[in-house]
Structure 1
Amino acid sequence: MSKVVIIGAGGVGGVVTHKCAQLPEVFSEIVLASRTEKKCKAIAAQLERPIKTAQVDADNVAELTTLLEQEKPDLVINVALPYQDLTIMDACLAAGVDYLDTANYEPLDTAKFEYKWQWAYQDKFKQAGLTALLGSGFDPGATNVFTAYIAKHYFDEIHELDIIDVNGGDHGYPFATNFNPEINIREVTAECRHWENDNFVTTPAMSKKASFTCPEQVGTYSIYRMYHEELESLTKHFPTLKRAQFWMSFGESYLKHLEVLGNVGMTGIEPIEFQGQQIVPIQFLKALLPDPSTLGPRTKGKTCIGVVVKGIKEGKEKIVYLYNIKDHQDCYQEVQSQAISYTTGVPAMIGAKMMLEGKWKQPGVWNIEQFDPDPFMEDMNKYGLPWKVVELDSFDLDG
């Protein structure tokens, strides 16, 4: 029986709260906190069991610490913005609480996707006897665990990794983002980096494109190579990797809109002066776009996210593909959300469950692939993200 404080009441926060509420034997008490308590109350009203809500500014360490000292949770599940990771980690240290998040820290003023700021907390968490689990979403998160699972069960050594994230969903808008628009656009417009021969190689954003056919009739999609933070931790923790790449699907309409918005300066992260006020263009754009948490009822289609690993087993090369397919409408029926929030929120709940059950508990700061993947993979099958693994004869995205 454990108590959790969930910080963040966006699309993912809603899914995490729903999924935790479904397991009262693990999550006996839930507190959902956000800058806007009204959002927390709206999520609470959807649930079949009572939870507590609270107002908190996740940028304010003192305010966060006060909340944690009052509530005395066993774990904080951080599904706020990546800019707030460090303040929440500081508050967890001050209040003596374990920590979990789904995305790495990003400074507000530069689109940097790096773990160095959070890895720097290793000694602090170790000395405090607290566990911090980083990146327990889908990518990063489940894809890291997929890689660890494949490495453990199928290979003696892994050499190549391709993480492929396809969203075959359609929400009917000419342009909208499936998660926080500010984070989404910063991610997509950042320079691409992939791992090759013991180094990260930098190429222009969206400059490498391939075609990928998903299994189970999900369809064929254009995927683009981009940088994603799990490449940094996976190449560190699997040093035999010679190449590692991340790919994501984008429709032509999304890319055309993004190009035009970029050309007119609407994706900028530097403040500009407008009528005597400082505004950040991308934050203004966010206010104009549909809220991702409202896309659930109108999004049709499926996601297909997985990893392809090449490596050696008993001297022979082999290729293994492990993936999950999720239907947007199934997610909406269960937790009033589209599949992008669902596929992030479920692994956050499972990571929290692993920690609370003592299966993943070790003082310090850890990426998700550093723990035993087996119990996590078992729970993905149980709690809404069933996966399949197939061996491939060949695989090539270089064409």
Structure 2
Amino acid sequence: MSKVLVVGAGGVSHAAVHKMAMNAGIFSDITLASRTKSKCDAIAASVLERTGVTIKTAQLDAMDVAATVALIRETGAELLVNLALPYQDLKLMDACLEAGCHYLDTANYEPEDEAKFEYHWQWAYQERFKAAGLTAILGSGFDPGVTSVFATWLRKHKLASIRQIDILDANGGSNDQAFATNFNPEINLREVLQEARHWEGGDWQVTPAMTHKVAFDFPGIGERNMYLMYHEELESLSTHFPEIERARFWMTFGDAYIMHAKVLENVGMTRIYPVMHDGHEIIPIQFLKTLLPDPGGLGQETTGKACIGDIVTGQAQDGAGEKTFHIYNICDHAECFAEVGSQAVSYTTGVPAMIGAAQVLKGNWVAPGVWNMEQLDPDDFMDMLNSQGLPWQVHELDGPVAF
């Protein structure tokens, strides 16, 4: 029996749990828990209808360590898959240590009162997980997650070293909304409006948010404007591949998205600290989240494709000098919805969460300690991407990127 407890009932969880149910030979017992049990029940009903598999549901406050420990013990879960909010990572890691359960998430910890996501809070758990004989896998989504595994696969099979890496994320999907975020609006806007940082020359280079724009022709999508941003895998990749001279992250945004995001920021709606309104304390960005469309509910009306991947330059293993490879996946929103009822952004995070969990349950990624994806063997994960709906391609380019 392979028992898993999934925490969180958003769009990513919807995709991940459906895919777990489709792989019942690996995930024999699934419990889905969230603060709002009705959301879990709705996902469970969809899973039963689409796959014939019955999953259990439970109500859980992920910030309540004792309650999480009790649920882990009640379910007998071997692995907790954290698909909740990044603010809850440390509490869930604490619960896993107390209950003797492996841990996996898709996004690194950030304090609720500060838009600053870094790995050092979770890396500090290394010795505690090692001493407990437990495994913690960090960032098993697409970016971070698959993008790091792509780099490791190239490092294992094509390149002796990595000199520079650019991670490119393009969502070419469209819907009828005037303004909608790709994933949780609160987390998305906090991420997008941070100042941009990239790794170069042994230090972090900082530029204002959304100011460095480059046009790029994405496979399966076409030319889109992409913006330099900070993303957490830059920290882990530059740490675990210390030979990297430059690491950058790029994401596409349309002009309308940029305009809306800037206006919301300028009028104070993206503030993350409390303000008084009619005698009540509210946090503007959390109020804004209630007004914006739920990305998890936009699957049926979203069309188009997403393309995410790495362009990596380094010394070739065959001694042929420096080579550059573009490794990527193209994902279709409509095909994702037809399979699991999710749009591609939820799918491209939920499927890698399932595959990472499978690596733990299959014993491939069981080693005491706290690990980022690029530290782990990539091969079975890469094989499962091809068989589980996220097939990848790799092409050699004429040379390093010119931007």
1:15-164 alignment to 2 at 5 Å?
Answer: 15-47=15-47, 48-164=52-168
CA distance in 2: counterparts of 1:237 and 1:153, whole angstroms: 17
TM-score normalised according to structure 2 size: 0.97
- Separation in structure 2 between the aligned mates of residue 126 and residue 19 of structure 1, nearest angstrom: 30
SS for the counterpart of 1:77 is: strand
Question: Cα RMSD over matched residues?
Answer: 0.8
3-state DSSP of counterpart to 1:293? helix
Q: Deviations over 1:95-130 (max 9, x none)?
A: 000000000001001011100000000011001100
CA deviation profile, 1:6-38 (whole Å, cap 9, x unmatched): 000000011111000001111000000000000
Pairing 1:291–2:286 present = no
TM-score relative to the length of structure 1: 0.98
In 2, distance between residues paired with 1:181 and 1:392?
Answer: 36
Write the letter of the residue equivalent to 1:257.
H
Q: Does structure 2 conserve the Cα–Cα contact (< 8 Å) formed by 1:102 and 1:140?
A: yes
Q: Does 1:191 align with 2:195?
A: yes
Counterpart position of 1:206: 210
- The whole-number CA distance in structure 2 between the counterparts of 1:263 and 1:197 is 33
Cα deviation for residue 315 of structure 1 reads: 5.4
SS of aligned partner of 1:158: coil
Question: Equivalent residue of 2:180, what SS?
Answer: coil
Specify the alignment match of 2:363 in structure 1: 358
Distance across 2 between alignment mates of 1:207 and 1:397 = 18
* Aligned mates of 2:118, 2:320 — CA distance in 1: 35
CA shift at 1:396, angstroms?
Answer: 2.8
Tell me which stretches of 4 or more aligned residues in structure 1 moved more than 6 Å. Answer: none
Runs of at least 5 residues in structure 1 that lack an aligned partner in the other structure: none
Alpha-carbon distance between aligned partners in 1 of 2:206 and 2:176, rounded to the nearest angstrom:
34
1:105 alignment partner, SS class: coil
Q: Which moved more, 1:290-299 or 1:307-316?
A: 307-316
Question: Is 1:260 aligned to 2:263, yes or no?
Answer: yes
Distance, in Å, in 2 between the alignment partners of 1:230 and 1:162 is 11
CA drift of 1:395 comes to 4.2
Partner of 1:309: 312
Question: Structure 2: how far apart are the matches of 1:156 and 1:203?
Answer: 31
1:175–1:257 contact (8 Å) kept in structure 2 = yes
1:10 equivalent in structure 2? 10
Q: Counterpart of 2:247?
A: 244
Give the share of equivalent positions with the same residue, in percent: 58
Q: Secondary structure at the match of 2:163?
A: strand
Residues 268, 281 of structure 1: 8 Å contact kept: yes
User: Match of 1:164, SS?
Assistant: strand
Q: Alpha-carbon deviation of 1:292?
A: 1.0
- Number of residue equivalences: 397
Distance of 2:95 and 2:280 partners within structure 1:
32
- 1:323 aligned to 2:323? no
- Partner Cα separation in structure 2 for residue 130 and residue 262 of structure 1: 42
Q: Is the 8 A contact 1:7 1:34 kept in 2?
A: yes
Write out per-residue CA displacement over residues 178-214 of structure 1, whole angstroms, 9 at most, x where no aligned residue: 2100000000000111000111111111121101101
Contact 1:211/1:397 (<8 A) preserved = no
Q: Does 1:380 align with 2:381?
A: no
Contact 1:194 1:246 in 2 (8 A): yes
Match of 1:229 in 2: 232
Deviation at 1:91, TM superposition (A): 0.5
* SS of match in other structure, 2:77: coil
